[in-house]
């Protein structure tokens, strides 16, 4: 609950960094990025410390590529070092085995904490990251990590205080440096859990050196290679995003029961030239994996009838399956602590959080696709063939880049929608798909709620949560997320109380999105069609929703309800009352609205 809004801010800010041409705006955005990273780090430190203290932190060993860890460390620390005009030196033994078995997440966390600490307390000079190894036996090494800086150093009498909780040394001198005072304490405790310890050497006024060595099993002895060139390439491309690879001969399958999610995923991959097949159900996937081999499969977890985890195990046991060795990536909108471990333990190769973004899906594909299929750093694509346009895909992406979406669409956060969809062409397709499904999905949710069919109610509110977030309908997405949780918990009282407001808001999007689709908006033969008389129950539900929004001072949502109601003919007996309510909404008089609607 704390991290999610921070991540949202960081995601929107990243789009600003990529798209702005204004130097001053770019400066502001980079400051936001730095502060957001600091805040997220403090929150994460506090949560990790609490977990370790309560004995709930487990070391989970799994196979990982050391080259990926080093690349991530370089990518994560380079902006901070660059911003402070420091030199960053790498001293990575190119002979270190690249495929190891250990707790990648915790090893990387310890390394990153030490790098961040060095950059934080160094105002001029150099931060040096060193990595080496010692062979223990034919199957095991000691991975040695060292960070050296030319920073302010530590007084000899202060070294024992380094691992005291919330202790910040030389507070007067370091008062402007952000942090919680937990970082080194967490590193020390994590290393202890992995059978290691943190060593410290420091000279006050000259700099410090932090190091540790941790035992890791060797899976494959092929060396890690030279990282100097990779780092230079990274610096040259900092803040300039483009697709990271092309793979025109790669074939992937995306399985998701929500068509919009597939549309966006295919759209995000179009410039990589990957060939994409799609399936809307587990059963459809079963047929396809028996007909064709895929290089990677993306499989949604929460689907009706057969969910993704069950479908994965059924697929693995099928006769005639041509994809027994194909890596399968789980797609999930419910990201919680330990999610990756859950999916790995189930047999998945990895997982991605929805809505999927281009950076993450490209990184997963680079990791999982056969290297022979991946062409790195080939520049901007000029080939006219686009991913997703083959015989098994229902989607043909528009080639025109001239499509425009009317600005100021009510109830749509355009920036979030663009971030999730990648460009206007994909967003237009997603909006159309969303618009076409409103009536059916709303009726389904209403029906499942009435029948107390909690399983299908939860599946449908989950889908509404994801699709609404995708197009930037954030208020609706949040309401759906809450009711999805209620469905999981079989909370009948909350479902009965909150579903009408959800459906009223959801159905209002038929009117909100109608400017995009004039042929569907009631214009026939040049004459405006007469409005449908609103049902008394629907009007009553709308009034209840307005009262709820007024109590929470959510006038944006209230405006959405009014727009929906204006699409209907209001009964004569209610017109005067309705116009009075609209007047209260326009004037922002929450108390008057609540009082007028107290009987609703």
**Domain boundaries, position 296:** 245-397
pLDDT at 528 over 70: no
Q: 504 and 367: one domain?
A: no
Instruction: Give buried/exposed letters for 306-326 (b at 16+ CB in 10 A, else e).
Output: bbbbebbeebeeeeebebeeb
The CATH code of the domain that includes 200 is 3.30.565.10
Instruction: For 451-473, write each residue's pLDDT tens digit.
Output: 999 988 988 898 898 888 888 88
Mean pLDDT across 109-119:
89
> Measured between alpha carbons, how far is 1 from 485 in angstroms, rounded to an integer?
14
558 belongs to a structural domain: yes
Same domain, 118 and 163: yes
Sign of CA dihedral 233, 239, 241, 247: positive
| Residue 49 within a domain | no
For tokens 């100097």, the residue is 228
End-to-end CA distance of the chain: 32
Secondary structure (H, E, C), 510-537: HHHCHHHCHHHCCEECCEECCCCECCHH
Of 237, 253, 285, which closes a domain? 237
Confidence of residue 11 (pLDDT cuts 50, 70, 90): low
pLDDT above 60: residue 80:
yes
Alpha-carbon gap, residue 562 to 568, rounded angstroms: 10
Closest among 115, 359, 69, 375 to 240, alpha carbons compared: 359
Say what the pLDDT of residue 503 is.
92
pTM for the whole structure? 0.40
Cα 586 from Cα 546, distance rounded (Å): 13
Looking at the fold, whether 494 and 432 belong to one and the same domain comes out as: yes
Q: Is residue 166 part of a domain?
A: yes
Where is pLDDT greater, at 381 or 302? 302
Residue 77 within a domain: yes
On whether residue 188 sits in a domain, the answer given is yes
Note whether 516 and 457 are same-domain residues.
yes
Give the CA distances from residue 19 to residues 25, 223, 470, 545, in Å, rounded to whole numbers and listed in that order.
Answer: 10, 39, 19, 38
Q: Does 477 lie in the same domain as 591?
A: yes
Mark whether 232 and 263 lie in a shared domain.
no
Query: The domain that contains 388 carries what CATH number?
Result: 3.40.50.2300
| Count of domains observed in the chain | 3
Same domain assignment for residues 140 and 264: no
Is the Cα torsion angle 335, 336, 341, 342 positive or negative in sign?
Answer: negative
Q: Which backbone phi and psi does 577 adopt, to 5 degrees? A: -60, -45
Per-residue pLDDT at 391:
39
> Two tokens at 231?
């780092």
- Structure-block tokens of residue 16: 């600003």
399 CB-side CA count, 13 A: 6
User: Per residue in 200-237, pLDDT tens?
Assistant: 998 888 899 999 999 999 988 888 877 665 555 545 54
Give the pLDDT confidence of 568-597 residue by residue, as tens digits: 888 888 888 888 888 777 655 667 788 888
pLDDT for 523 beyond 50: no
114: Cβ contacts below 8 Å, ≥ 6 apart? 145, 147, 187, 210
Domain boundary among 168, 202, 237: 237
Structural domain includes residue 22:
no
Same domain? For 229 and 259 the reply is: no
- Domain annotation covers residue 312: yes
Is residue 483 a part of any domain in this protein?
Answer: yes
> 22: which 2 tokens?
């204004």
């Amino acid at each position: 609950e704390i991290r999610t809004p921070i991540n949202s801010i960081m995601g929107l800010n990243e789009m600003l960094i990529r798209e702005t041409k204004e130097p001053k705006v770019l400066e502001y955005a980079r400051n936001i990025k730095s502060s957001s990273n600091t805040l997220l780090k403090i929150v994460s430190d506090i949560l990790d410390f609490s977990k370790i203290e309560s004995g709930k932190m487990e070391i989970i060993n799994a196979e990982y590529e050391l080259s990926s860890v080093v690349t991530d460390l370089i990518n994560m620390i380079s902006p901070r070092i660059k911003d402070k005009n420091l030199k960053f030196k790498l001293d990575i033994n190119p002979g270190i085995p690249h495929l190891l078995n250990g707790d990648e997440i915790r090893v990387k966390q310890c390394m990153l904490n030490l790098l961040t600490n060095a950059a934080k307390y160094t105002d001029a000079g150099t931060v040096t990251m060193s990595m080496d190894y010692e062979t223990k036996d034919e199957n095991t090494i000691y991975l040695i990590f060292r960070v050296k800086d030319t920073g302010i150093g530590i007084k000899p009498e202060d070294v024992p205080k380094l691992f005291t909780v919330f202790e910040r040394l030389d507070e007067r001198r370091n008062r402007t440096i952000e942090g919680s005072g937990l970082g080194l304490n967490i590193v020390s405790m994590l290393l202890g859990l992995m059978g290691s310890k943190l060593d410290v050497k420091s000279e006050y006024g000259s700099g410090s050196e932090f190091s540790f060595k941790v035992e890791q099993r060797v899976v494959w002895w092929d060396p890690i290679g030279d990282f100097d060139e990779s780092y230079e390439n990274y610096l040259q491309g900092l803040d300039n995003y483009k697709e990271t690879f092309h793979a025109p001969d790669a074939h992937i399958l995306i399985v998701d029961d929500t068509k919009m999610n597939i549309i966006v995923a295919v759209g995000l991959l179009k410039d990589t030239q990957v060939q994409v097949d799609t399936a809307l159900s587990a059963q459809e996937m079963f047929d396809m994996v028996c007909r064709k081999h895929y290089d990677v499969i993306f499989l949604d977890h929460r689907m009706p009838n057969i969910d993704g985890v069950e479908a994965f195990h059924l697929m693995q046991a099928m006769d005639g399956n041509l994809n027994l060795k194909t890596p399968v990536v789980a797609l999930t909108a419910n990201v919680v602590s330990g999610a990756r471990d859950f999916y790995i333990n189930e047999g998945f190769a990895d997982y991605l959080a929805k809505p999927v973004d281009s950076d993450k899906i490209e990184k997963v594909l680079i990791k999982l696709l056969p290297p022979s299929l991946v062409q790195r750093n080939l520049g901007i694509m000029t080939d006219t063939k686009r991913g997703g346009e083959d015989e098994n895909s229902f989607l043909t992406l528009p080639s025109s880049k001239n499509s425009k979406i009317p600005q100021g669409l009510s109830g749509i956060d355009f920036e979030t929608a663009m971030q999730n969809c990648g460009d206007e062409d994909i967003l237009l397709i997603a909006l159309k798909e969303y618009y076409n499904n409103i009536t059916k999905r709303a009726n389904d949710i209403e029906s499942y709620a009435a029948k107390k069919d909690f399983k299908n109610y939860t599946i449908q509110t989950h889908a509404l949560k994801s699709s609404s977030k995708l197009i930037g309908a954030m208020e609706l997405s949040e309401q759906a997320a809450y009711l999805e949780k209620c469905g999981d918990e079989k909370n009948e009282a909350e479902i009965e109380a909150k579903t009408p407001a959800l459906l009223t808001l959801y159905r209002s999007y038929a009117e909100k999105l109608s400017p995009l689709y004039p042929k569907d908006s009631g214009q026939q033969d040049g004459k405006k069609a007469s409005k449908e008389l609103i049902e008394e129950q629907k009007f009553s539900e709308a009034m209840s929703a307005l009262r709820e929004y007024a109590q929470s001072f959510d006038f944006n949502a209230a405006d959405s309800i009014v727009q929906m109601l204006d699409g209907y003919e209001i009964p004569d007996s209610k017109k005067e009352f309705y116009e009075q309510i609209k007047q209260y909404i326009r004037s922002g008089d929450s108390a008057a609205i609540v009082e007028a609607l107290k009987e609703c």
